[in-house]
Chain A
C-alpha cells in the first residue's frame, strides 16, 4: 500500500483529534499551571508536620500585645493576636504580624559573637566564641576599674523603664562604678515626668479610654501604633460600632490628616509644637463658661485660684493665667485654629460627662513635650476626671520586688560620685533621667581622653533613631571601644568593635511591663516560642555572665544563675499583691476595672503564680481605688498641682536663689508664676528666619523604631510614600505651587543638621508651610530590603530642646528646599 501525503495528513489529523478526546491536553495544561506556581525558590513552604500554637507576648513595641504563634514542628509560621489576652483581644499590628521575618532573615542578624575586622561602620566582622567575647569585655572593664575611672564605662539602653533586663544593666554599671547609664527617649519619659510634677508620683500614664465618653486625642496616633495597638484599635471599633450613635466622640488634634485624624469624628489641626496653647485655649473656654468641676478644683487641686505662698507673696493661679493669656483669639494667632473652633471644642469637652484628654506624639517611640503633656493633663483636672473611671488614673507602677542593694567598693563609690555625662539629674536638668543627645555632645566636645572609654549598647539603635542630626554616630567615632548587644546588623552595631548578640523577640524570655497608656497594672511574660536559631545569648544572661568574669565585687551583685532566676526574684513582689493571671473572655478587663471591686488573687504562692504566668502569660489587677483624691497625690501640697511645687523646688536648686536664672538654665523662657504651670512655649528645631518646617511622621505599617522593617510591610506602602528607593515628602498643593513644585518632582531638603533628597507628594491633608517626611526609611544597615530605601528625616532634625525636660524637639524643624 502506498502512503501519500494526503494519507499522512489524515493520520496526523486523526491523532490530533484523538488526543483532544483524551484528558491529556486539558490535564497537562492544568498541571503545568500548578507547576508554575509551586516551583520557585521564593515561594515560602513550611515543612509538613504537626501544627502547634504557642502563646506569648509581643515585644516589638512597648504595647505588649498577646500573640499566638502557629508552628509546624519547630518552625514558626504565623503570628496572630491572642483572643484570650485582656489587653488586645485578638488584635495585632502589622509589625507584630510581620515579626517572623525579623527572626528568620539571617542576613539582618548576627549569628554568633563577633569582633570587628574592617574599618568602623563597614560592618566587617569575624565570628568569635562567647567566652572570648565576654573575656575581652570583662578585661576592659577590669582595666577601667584598675585605672580608677569606672565612670568611663557607659551604657545606652533601649529597654522599657522598669523591666528586668534594663534594671540588670543599670545594676551592672552601678556595681562597676559608673553613673552613666542612659535610657533611650520615649513618650514614657514625658508621661512620668508630667505625673511627677502634677500628681507627685512618677507612675505610668494610665488612660481609662474605654470608659470615657469624649476623647480629645492630642497627638497620639491612636489607631496607628500608639500604646498597645490591639487594645486601642479594639476600643476604636467599639466606639464607632455603637449602633445608636451614643459612642464617644473622638477628636484628633494633629497638623496632618493622618489615618487617625481622617477617621475621627473631629479633626483639629494646630501648628506642630503649639498643642499646649490649644489645650490652654480650651481651658480658657471651659473656665470662662464654668464648664469645670469646681468642687474637685477647690478641694483637691493646688494653684487653680490665685494663692499665697509660705513667704506671704501673692501668686497667680492657673485660672488667671489662662483667662489672661489664652483667649481663643490669641490662641488662634499661635495655633492657626480658628477661635470659633476652639470655643466649640472647649464647650464639647466641658459639657461631656467623663471627657478624657490624651497626650502623645505619634506612636510614642520618642519623647513628647513636657509642657504640652502637662497642659493636656490640666484639661482632665479641670473636669475632675482624674483617678475616676473614664479618666486619667493615678497609678504607682508595678508591685515588683527590688533586688538587694548593690554595695559598691571604694573604686565604684568614687566613680558613682562623678557627674553624669549627659547632665541629667544635675540641678540644670533635674527632670530628665536620660538625655542621650547630651552624651554625644559631651563626647564630641571633649579634648584629650574621651570621657567614655567603653560604650555598651542594648536593645537600641541610637545612630539611626535619635533625632540628633547624626551627632551620636559622630560621637561613636571618638569612643575607643563600642560593644553592641543588638541581635540585628543595625547602624549602631556596624560601628561596634564587639558584638554580643541578643536573642530576637520570639527566642527570648522577657517581662513586658505595663503597656503604654493602659489603665490597670499589667505585666506580660514573653516566653520563647522557638529555640534560639543561632549562637546568640539573652542579654540578661550575658550581663550576669559578664559580671561573673569581671569578678568581685561586681560578681557579688549578681548572685543569680541566669536571667530567669533574677526575673523570678523580681516578680516575687507580684505574688504578695492581689492580682489575676486569668481572664474571662466574656468580661472585658476595662469593664471589671471600672467597677473597682476588690480582686482576690487566683494564686496562693509565688510558685503557683509563676506556673500560671508561664501558661497564661500575664498578671494584671483589673481594679482600682478610685476617687481617693485625699491620698493619691504625693505632691508637696498633697493635691493635684497646677502650680508645681516640685518644679519650684527644682528651679530653686538649679539657680541657687535666683529663680529666673534657674528657669533659663532649664530652657524655660516664661517668667513669673506661669513658669511653674503648664504654659505654651515655642518648640522648634533649627535657627534662622521663619520659613518651611519639617515634620517627621510615623506610618503604622513601617517599623520606625530600632527594629528593621520586615519586607512584608514594605509591600504595603503606597507609591506616594516610597517608590523604589525614594521617599516622598508630603506638602500642601498651595505650598508646592508657591515653590513651583509638581507632583513627583525631586527636591533637596536642607537644614542646619543635614540634607536629604526626596520627591514631592502634593497632599491636601498637609498643613501649608510644613513638609511631612515619613520615618523608618533611609537605613544604611540591615539587609537588601532595608538598606538605601528612602531617607531618614532624623538626619535633618537637631538641636531643639524641649523646655524643662531638655529632651529633643523632633516634631518640627526649620528647613530649606531646592529642586534637585
Chain B
C-alpha cells in the first residue's frame, strides 16, 4: 500500500492540481482536467464520425429516374378506383391471378392510362421524362426498389395482406400520401437498401410498441393501431415498421401469436 501511494505521489502531474472534487470520484480514473479534455477531444469527434459521418459514407444516395407523386395517383378524381386506402394502393400494386404480388408495377400498368406519349395528363417535367424516354421508347422504367430483399428470402405479400390483414402502410409507411419519392440509399457493402436494413442505424427497434391511452391523437397515428386478440384479452399495439430485417419480422409474428412462422424455412426456402 505504501509503495503504491508513494508511486502515485511521484507521478508527474500535468496542469493544475486544483482539479479535485467531482473528477476525483472513485469510479473514474484520477485524470486532471486537462486529461479529461483530451479524453473528450477524442470522444466527441469519434461520436460525430460514428453517428454522422459513418452513415453518410456507408450509404450511397441515388435519385430515381424521375419523380413520382403517389398523392396525384391516389386521387379518385383521376380514375384510380378504390373504396379504402388499401384498395387504392392495390389499383396498381395488385395481386396477380396466381397470388404473386406485382410489386412496383411494370409499364403495362402505367400505360393503362398513359397510353399515348403525345397526350400527357399533366405538365410536370417528370411526366415529360416519363413519356418521352420510356412510354415513347417502350422501355421499362428502371426504378430503384427500396424493398428488394436478399435472394435467400422468400416473402409472400398475399399471406400478410389477405391472411394477416396488414395494411400497406404498416410495413411501407405513408407512401400513398407522398409527393416525392425518397432518395434511394444503398448500403455500399451489402448492396441492400437502407429501407430494408433499418432507417435507424443503431438498430433500436421502435417499430412495434404497446399502445397507451392518449398516446396517439392524430389520425395518421391511429391507422397504425392494431387490436390483437390474446388469451389475456385484447391488446392494442402500434405497428409501423421502420425496417424490414429478420428481427422485425420475428417481433411482429410473435405479437400476432404466429411464432411458428419464425421457423427458418418459412422465409428461407
Q: Which A residues have a C-beta under 8 Å from some C-beta of B?
A: 1-4, 6-8, 10-19, 21-24, 26-28, 31-32, 34-35, 38, 45-46, 48, 50-51, 53
Contacts and interface: CB of A to CB of B under 8 A. Distances in A.
A515 B31 CA distance: 86
A74 to B, nearest CB: 14
Interface string B32-67: 001110111111111101110011001000000000
Given A22-B51, A23-B203, A46 B39 contact: no
Contacts of B43: 14-15, 17-18, 21
B233 to A, nearest CB: 38
Contact of B46 (A6, A14, A27): A14
B201 A27 contact: yes
A1 B35 CA distance: 12
Q: Kindly name the residue among A1, A3, A31 whose own CB sees the greatest number of chain B CB atoms within 10 A.
A: A31
Given A10-B35, A14-B38, A22 B46 contact: yes
A34 to B, nearest CB: 4
B187 A31 contact: yes
A2 B38 CA distance: 12
26 contacts: A1-B34, A4-B14, A7-B14, A7-B38, A8-B38, A10-B35, A10-B42, A11-B38, A11-B42, A13-B39, A14-B39, A14-B42, A15-B43, A17-B39, A17-B43, A21-B43, A21-B50, A22-B49, A23-B50, A26-B203, A27-B58, A28-B54, A28-B189, A34-B150, A38-B190, A48-B148
A10 B192 CA distance: 38
B251 to A, nearest CB: 17
B47 A18 contact: yes
Interface string B20-38: 0000000000010011101
Given A11-B42, A23-B201, A27-B58, A18 B31 contact: no
Contact of B203 (A1, A7, A27, A32): A27
Contacts of B164: none
Contacts of A11: 38-39, 41-42
A244 to B, nearest CB: 28
A17 B58 CA distance: 21
A22 B39 contact: no
Contacts of A7: 14, 34-35, 38
Contacts of B46: 14-19, 21-22
B163 interface: no
B1 interface: no
B106 interface: yes
A817 to B, nearest CB: 45
Interface in B91-115: 98, 100, 102, 106
A8 B203 CA distance: 32
B191 interface: yes
A18 B58 contact: no
Nearest to A26: B203
B54 A18 contact: no
Interface residues of B, number: 37
Contacts of B145: 48
Contacts of B45: 15, 18
A48 B104 CA distance: 12
Contacts of B58: 27, 31
A570 to B, nearest CB: 32
B235 to A, nearest CB: 31
Contacts of B106: 50
B264 interface: no
Contact of B50 (A14, A18, A34, A45): A18
B40 A14 contact: yes
B47 A21 contact: yes
A10 B49 CA distance: 18
A12 B51 CA distance: 18
Given A22-B50, A23-B201, A46-B151, 4 more contacts: A8-B38, A14-B39, A15-B42, A24-B49
Nearest to A12: B42
Contacts of A46: 151
Nearest to B54: A24
Nearest to B14: A4
B202 interface: yes
Contacts of A13: 39, 42
Interface in B78-98: 98
Query: Taking each of A14, A38, A53, which has the highest tally of chain B beta carbons within 10 Å of its own beta carbon?
Result: A14
A46 B150 CA distance: 11
Contacts of A21: 43, 46-47, 50
A95 B243 CA distance: 39
Contacts of A28: 54, 189
Contacts of B50: 18-19, 21-24
Nearest to A48: B148
B14 A6 contact: yes
Closest 7 CB pairs of A and B: A22-B50, A14-B42, A18-B46, A15-B42, A14-B39, A18-B43, A14-B43
A12 to B, nearest CB: 6
A14 B43 CA distance: 4
Given A16-B46, A19-B46, A10 B38 contact: yes
Q: Which of B47, B98, B201, B203 has the most CB of A within 10 A?
A: B47
Contact of B189 (A15, A18, A31, A51): A31
Nearest to B35: A10
Contact of B49 (A6, A19, A26, A34): A19
